[in-house]
Amino acid sequence: MLCTKLEFNRLRSCRRYIQIKGITRKYCAIAAIVEKSDVGSITEVKGWVRNLRVQKEFSFADISDGSSAQKLQIIIPKHLKTEQLTYGSSVKIKGKLSLSPRGQLEILANEVNVVGPCVVLDGYPFNPRTAHPPEYTRQYLHLRSRTNYISALLRIRSAVVKHIHDFFNSRNYINIHTPILTSNDCEGAGEVFKVQPDNEDTIKAMMQEGKDKDSLYFGLKTFLTVSGQLHLEAICRGMGNVYTLGPTFRAENSRSRLHLSEFYMLEAELAFCENIVQLQTVIEELLKYIFTETRNTNEKDIYLIDKENKKPIWLDKPFVTLTYDEAQLILNTKGSGTGGDFNKEQELILVDHCGGPVFVTKWPKDMKSFYMKESNNDSSKVDALDLLTPVTGEVVGGSLREDNYEKLKLKLPSERLHWYLELRKFGNIPTGGFGLGLERLLQVLCGVNNIKDTLPFPRWPHNCDM
């Protein structure tokens, strides 16, 4: 972009700004600089050159430090421009914070230090002012945070996590760190990763009669967790409302746009929860809170990902509720009914029919997990729910928990879960809970088609780079 004559005269006068006394400010993130707008202060900024325009007397560098969607323009006099100052290089710059004729913040540099050069011709995979497709950037997981698309998603992800904690803190829930190593398969689907030592010396030293490699270290087979729910239930029966947010693992042979082998799950357990409506209320309030707050705090990031991403109409309407049987009737009228569990296409048909998120409740007992509470008025059903949303279909699953000792005893899938049954013997209470996939939520919030772009280092079958 070339300077107009008026701008060039303004920039020539900038040579004199070094002598102007200003308020000295220590290093600040660009997000803080933009928020405070201390025009006239001497400011230091550190970041990466996202774009560079070299002209006769001045160079113009757009600097990003990752803290904000906004870049900061730096005006660099000719004598401060070195060959190492290129697109992609990391820099430390000090100068006077000013306003351009268009009212935009910029820094008139008097110190420019290149911290880390970037020689693009040596194999740097990204080009300035280029919107690289996600499929391309996925080949460079170690570098793709340099792109606008991924950096915006990661800022939104960080904000969403903060909003989740704010929501539960404001309602006096206790945050629990549930274990990643566990001896149970909560969902009972067998889609678990087994854990054992990789060191042969350790295996030889610990091997005992009657043990094998699977059980020698912990004394029994151990897995990476698929859910923290059962552990939350134990804590809930001593501390009340609790939640956890952490990594979970599924050994599914799926490479779809909606599946990962490692993902983050938000799970909550509500004490003294006696009906499914209580659960639905918390879930709906949570999602609306996250969507509203994130649009307030990260609107520029959302638009950076998708300029057409507008506030969803359904944020101002109650979520629709259907029973499983009602949902099947709707699918039958549309020629899509199958009588079994819903596939992704069917879930999205229901979302479209209802005009937004929809709860599906009262599921057939044989389709759901052992811990779900049998419905009082229909023993063939359980008090379970799925929340279906645009883009992804199912994003939340939950239920009331079976609190009847004798009924649960008959359904218990393993003797290893005797402790889970014992929770119903001593001071038992009715509870209900849900799990929400963070990455799928981000897909819905940002309109992201592929779940592999919602976290920095995705893992899926045949892919565990870095």
Range of the domain at 237: 145-191+226-453
- Beta-strand relationship, 378-389 and 72-77: unpaired
Residue 365: Cβ-neighbour burial (10 angstroms; 0-12, 13-18, 19+)? middle
Give one DSSP letter per residue of 388-426, joined into a string: EETTTEEEEEEEEB---HHHHHHH---GGGHHHHHTTTS
Question: Which pLDDT score is estimated for 130?
Answer: 87
213 in a domain, yes or no?
no
362 and 442 co-located in one domain: yes
164 and 289 co-located in one domain: yes
282 and 322 co-located in one domain: yes
Distance (Å, whole) CA 409 – CA 393 = 33
136 in a domain, yes or no?
no
207 in a domain, yes or no?
no
pLDDT at 2 over 50: no
The CATH number of whichever domain residue 187 belongs to comes to: 3.30.930.10
The CATH number of whichever domain residue 46 belongs to comes to: 2.40.50.140
221 in a domain, yes or no?
no
Q: 296: which 2 tokens? A: 């307030």
Q: How confident is the model at residue 240 (pLDDT cuts 50, 70, 90)?
A: very high
Question: Which pLDDT score is estimated for 400?
Answer: 98
150 and 113 co-located in one domain: no
Question: Which pLDDT score is estimated for 286?
Answer: 98
Distance (Å, whole) CA 442 – CA 436 = 11
317 and 279 co-located in one domain: yes
Of 122, 157, 183, the last residue of a domain is 122
Of 122, 153, 174, the last residue of a domain is 122
Distance (Å, whole) CA 448 – CA 157 = 12
155 and 240 co-located in one domain: yes
Contact partners, residue 16, CB within 8 Å, separation at least 6: none
Query: How far apart, in Å, are the Cα atoms of 268 and each of 187, 245, 248, 433, 444?
Result: 16, 9, 14, 5, 20
| pLDDT tens digits for range 213-234 | 888 899 889 999 999 999 999 9
Contact partners, residue 298, CB within 8 Å, separation at least 6: 69, 152, 155, 156, 159
296 in a domain, yes or no?
yes
466 in a domain, yes or no?
no
157 and 115 co-located in one domain: no
352 and 250 co-located in one domain: yes
151 in a domain, yes or no?
yes
311 and 268 co-located in one domain: yes
Please count the structural domains in the chain.
2
314 and 445 co-located in one domain: yes
Q: How confident is the model at residue 367 (pLDDT cuts 50, 70, 90)?
A: very high
Contact partners, residue 11, CB within 8 Å, separation at least 6: 3, 57, 58, 75
Residue 406: Cβ-neighbour burial (10 angstroms; 0-12, 13-18, 19+)? exposed
Q: 94: which 2 tokens? A: 């000090």
Give yes or no for a contact between 327 and 311, defined as CB atoms under 8 angstroms apart: no
95 and 152 co-located in one domain: no
Distance (Å, whole) CA 108 – CA 100 = 10
179 in a domain, yes or no?
yes
- Beta-strand relationship, 242-249 and 174-175: parallel
168 and 115 co-located in one domain: no
pLDDT at 15 over 60: no
